[in-house]
Amino acid sequence: MEFNPNNTDLVIVGAGLFGLTVAQQAVEHAGARVHIIDVRDHIGGNAYSYFDDETGIEIHKYGAHLFHTSNRRVWEYVNRFTEFTDYVHRVYTTHNGEVFPLPINLGTINQFFHASYTPAEAKRLIEEQAGEYADITPKNLDEQGKKLIGKPLYEAFIKNYTGKQWQTDPAELPASIIRRLPMRYNYNNRYFKDTWEGLPKDGYTAWFEKMIADPRIEVSLGVDFFDESQPLNRKAIQAAGIPVVYTGPIDRYFDYDLGELKWRTVDFKERRYDEDDHFGCPVMNYADADVPYTRAIEFRNFNPERAESYKPGKTVVWEEYSRFARRGDEPYYPINTEDDKNIYAQYQAKAALEPNTVFGGRLGTYKYYDMHQVIDTALTAYDEQVAPLLRK
């Protein structure tokens, strides 16, 4: 790996969607020469996927990634680099040995109560059940859930699932974690409400490779920004006066001197079945406490249009286990306690004083983003923060 400061206009730390978008924009609009580095051995960040050698199935290495957006600018942008399938996400959940559709809708309600309520009747029922808690000020998530949708549905579908997600009894979690719970009084079980939805036809990695296909973009993988034994390190880049877009953990950038920001992470356990289809759907949630994982993902069902290319009688399922992250784990979801928010605000103030450095992405801003939100913030960051640095 070589690093020539005289031949580099911008260094991007992290090859996730934020970094790739900024790199593409810098080349297109400023003719910049961009060097992307990433400590991982692949591009794409947590949206990276690969095709399984045994089955031909596309595996999402860091859990299910589903593209959806109502943002026209983002939709038009991503369609420059990939076509999308007509995939529409639908989720099911197993409770007491029975499968129900999610989000909670009229089908869920009628199946759960063994009834045939009309939308108006179902709405009155839920309002009545939630009304028992109308006069309380929820002290925890448990009380908040009951106040939002009533005790029966909350305890069946939300309580234990949330407890597994957070590895904490919902009675000990703050009420603020759940602002609302989706409730549909029709039979629509489409998971997302966005205008556009789908999966990249040739897979996520092919999409990302096309974004950075310009020869003015160089990528170096397996490179740690903080390792001064290699040339593309923080100290050398800053000494050369080259602008940096940093998408790693913001607390790591400042050597954790104000404390560590807390995250949840996810572990996966793979199971392979000698079947063409194990669940009949891409995602099966498990609402009960006696199942230790929150959900299971059957990847082949994301792309039924590829069925002829799959090995017959084989399928791959990943069970998903949520836990609190330790240093060195992959951070997925910011926990965002009041302490975390205060610590991040202090890091944010320090980041604003960093010359020639733009912080972005989930890790750099301590926020949970869907893919379309990452792209949107990257397009804005390029226009408002990165482009001015390249014009200096």
Query: What residues are annotated to the active site?
Result: 180, 184, 264, 295, 320, 368, 370
Q: What does the H/E/C string look like for 195-252? A: CEEECECCCHHHHHHHHCCCCCEEEEECCCCCCCCCCCCHHHHHHCCCCEEECCCHHH
Closest to 204 measured CA to CA, from 328, 42, 2, 30: 42
Give the C-alpha separation, 112 to 135, whole Å: 26
How buried is 112 (Cβ within 10 angstroms: 0-12 exposed, 13-18 middle, 19+ buried)? middle
Residues near 184 by beta carbon (within 8 Å), at least 6 away in sequence: 103, 104, 105, 106
354 burial (CB, 10 Å; 0-12 / 13-18 / 19+) is: middle
- The token duo for 388 is 């001015």
Tokens of 194: 């966005």
CA 364 to chain centroid, in Å, comes to 14
166 three-class SS: helix
Task: Give per-residue burial for 254-286: e unless 16+ CB within 10 Å, then b.
Answer: eeeebeebbbbbbebeeeeeeeeebbebbbbbb
Cα separation of 298 and 286, whole Å? 14
